Chains A and B, each alone.
Chain A
Amino acid sequence: MKRSASNSVTNGDASNKKMKKTTEEDSEIGFANLDENLLYEVLKHVDARTLATSSCVSKIWHRTAQDERLWELICTRHWANIGCSPHQLRFVVLALGGFKQLHSLYLWPLSSPNQHGRLGKDELKLSLSLLSIRYYEKMNFTKRLP
């Protein structure tokens, strides 16, 4: 793992490099101290793998990287349009478990080995179906049979 001090906000490729810091070095390197909002802006441009590993860096990074909006970007960026409005998609997916779950459970396994592979309509539809089934299976139903 490379350690590199990068003060400027760069594109996705540059932020692929992981930063592993100890607390003593915090004050020296600026990137780890990045304001949450700025961090969010940076993470908007990374790919799925980077976003996932980013959440392992620190508590602040973890909190930011878990943001559903970031995962929504990951999910919808490379996908073919399935025809519905983004608002519709967001509403349904968030109700059924969220984009992060959708991605990690179904889209990621379905995606091609090529990191920047496009996910087609079919993969997306199948993933959504499986997500809904999972939600249904896990529903805590209040009226239980003895």
Chain B
Amino acid sequence: MKRSHQETSVEEAHSIGKKLEDDNNMDEFLSALGYKVRSSDMADVAQKLEQLEVVLSNDDVLDSNALNDTVHYNPSDLSSWAETMLSELNYYPPSLDLDPTRMCNLTPFSDDNECSSTTSDNSSKRIRLGPWCDSSESTRPVVMLGVDSQETGVRLVQALVACAEAVQQENLILADALVKRVGSPAASQAGAMGKVATYFAEALARRIYRIRPSSPAVDPSFEEILQMHFYESCPYLKFAHFTANQAILEAVATARGVHVIDLGINQGMQWPALMQALALRPGGSPSFRLTGVGGPSEGDGIQQLGWKLAQLAQAIGVEFEFKGLTVERLTDLEPEMFETRPESETLVVNSIFELHPVLAKPGSIEKLLATVKEVKPSVVTVVEQEANHNGVVFLERFNEALHYYSSLFDSLEDGVIIPSQDRVMSEVYLGRQILNVVAAEGTDRIERHETLDQWRKRMGSAGFDPVSLGSDAFKQASLLLALSGGGDGYRVEENDGSLMLAWQTKPLIAASAWKVSDVTAEWRR
């Protein structure tokens, strides 16, 4: 696969190369970008550029006005440009010699057109990326491998972004070259940054070589195991469940019968807590019916789950009924399948991270939401990732995802050198998501996360109104986070009636509740 791909693109490279053949052995790749550097000078230029980076990252230099007065020579002649920059900034190379063979950090500048302001771009790029790189290093004890981790961390990010840019421009030869250079720095980077970089590098490689499917096929039971570990190791799923349950309890406060439709039953971890809360309701417990929707891979497991929940219900004295629905995809669901009993039951629809995969096929989400609306639920609880990983432009998706998963991985870091199984499995779980966001396309790409604002628009046009999550939900979420590890990195944020779970001020998960719009307001739309 790789060979044939390379064959066709090598032709392209040759045609570009032929144009510059007479330019004294100019490096092909850089020529394609507009820089003229002799292949023989490459190591020297690389070293100078590294030194330049170090000098520019020094705060003193930035504060001074030296840069404003600098005369910029033609930057396409990289060798002399770097030379003049260094002498202008009165830089003297340190006695410690930077290894010139370590060429992996040579990355093209972001924009050819902005060559003259490249220096400020470079430093502003550094500052922009700084905050979240900082967060991965500052509060956690990091294993130092003799190199300044933050320095290499930033370079790693730049290398990844450069590769993504190449992919965006469909310059796959360059992308291939760049992704190969990211591999070992990523592996040697300590902490969350290294893991994230490794996954993103793998994802990019898969995309470049068009390896399908986007992530290695695994047994569905393994997927379940991964999710269980993720459930245990960090508060995201628990936050999702508890907040949704709180909204459900408020909606069914006076109901004598409750029917919950769970669009993704998985391990049923959400329901013991709800049943316990129903059991302790003043005045006695209502009857509880659960319809769990699952995929064909879960098969018999759903019935077993039902039995387990039934046992629990019996132990705590809750009248319980369970039904499992197996469908290929959520759009196969029809209202009749739920066998609703509106005269005796209050209906709830629950979706924890189940809506975004439906976006893979156009028109599907509208159909699903129409089906949900038709069964007339009293409340629809929705929890989704708070990120836009569904943009049309690949590079934008890539950058968003890089930022998002860096935060997520950072929150998993507990500073322990030998990680627990929970943590390792959680990283694999998230890694598979990364692979899907970056490497997959079309119906294969199911991790199409969208932000709360985007979901608000979708729910609104589907005929739903938002329901405010009360202060009880906020308090409970805060307590839950206090119990989880991570110090005070976790925060609950209120957002117009919905709740978000944030790590170091970056919102990662959003929980919201909805009700069917008023009929009288309907025709006014």
For A57, list chain B residues within 8 Å (CB): none
- Given A136-B269, A143-B304, 7 new contacts (CB under 8 A): A85-B282, A92-B317, A96-B276, A126-B242, A130-B483, A132-B276, A132-B316
In the complex, the answer to whether A110 meets B479 with C-beta atoms within 8 Å is yes
Is B273 interfacial (CB 8 A cutoff)? yes
Complex Cα distance, B315 from A130, in Å, reads 16
What are 10 pairs between A and B in contact, CB < 8 Å?
A95-B317, A96-B315, A110-B482, A110-B483, A123-B479, A125-B277, A132-B273, A136-B308, A139-B308, A141-B304
The digit string for B255-294, where 1 denotes a CB below 8 A from any CB of A, is: 0000000000000110011011101111010000000000
Q: How far is the CB of B186 from chain A (nearest CB, A)?
A: 35
In the complex, the answer to whether A136 meets B317 with C-beta atoms within 8 Å is no
In the complex, the answer to whether B280 meets A84 with C-beta atoms within 8 Å is yes
For A74, list chain B residues within 8 Å (CB): none
Q: How far is the CB of B290 from chain A (nearest CB, A)?
A: 13
Complex Cα distance, B482 from A143, in Å, reads 37
Cβ < 8 Å to A, chain B residues 470-492: 472, 475-476, 479-480, 482-483
Cβ < 8 Å to A, chain B residues 451-482: 472, 475-476, 479-480, 482
Partner of A122, one of B277, B309, B475: B475
For A130, list chain B residues within 8 Å (CB): 273, 483
Is A82 interfacial (CB 8 A cutoff)? yes
Given A109-B483, A135-B272, A128-B280 contact (CB < 8 Å): yes
Is B307 interfacial (CB 8 A cutoff)? yes
In the complex, the answer to whether B476 meets A125 with C-beta atoms within 8 Å is yes
In the complex, the answer to whether B312 meets A139 with C-beta atoms within 8 Å is yes
Complex Cα distance, B402 from A72, in Å, reads 49
For A136, list chain B residues within 8 Å (CB): 268-269, 272, 308-309, 312
Shortest Cβ distance from B311 into A: residue: A139
In the complex, the answer to whether B304 meets A88 with C-beta atoms within 8 Å is no
| A residues with CB within 8 A of B | 82-85, 88-89, 91-92, 95-96, 106, 109-110, 122-123, 125-126, 128-133, 135-136, 139, 141, 143, 145
- Among the interface residues A122, A123, A139, which one has the most CB atoms of the partner chain B within 10 A? A122
For B100, list chain A residues within 8 Å (CB): none
Is B300 interfacial (CB 8 A cutoff)? yes
Complex Cα distance, B478 from A126, in Å, reads 11
Complex Cα distance, B476 from A91, in Å, reads 24
Given A91-B317, A123-B479, A129-B273 contact (CB < 8 Å): yes
Given A92-B276, A133-B272, A141-B304, A83-B316 contact (CB < 8 Å): no
For A139, list chain B residues within 8 Å (CB): 308, 311-312
Is B141 interfacial (CB 8 A cutoff)? no
For B272, list chain A residues within 8 Å (CB): 132-133, 135-136
For B93, list chain A residues within 8 Å (CB): none
For B312, list chain A residues within 8 Å (CB): 132, 135-136, 139
Complex Cα distance, B34 from A107, in Å, reads 65
Complex Cα distance, B270 from A136, in Å, reads 10
For A143, list chain B residues within 8 Å (CB): 304, 307
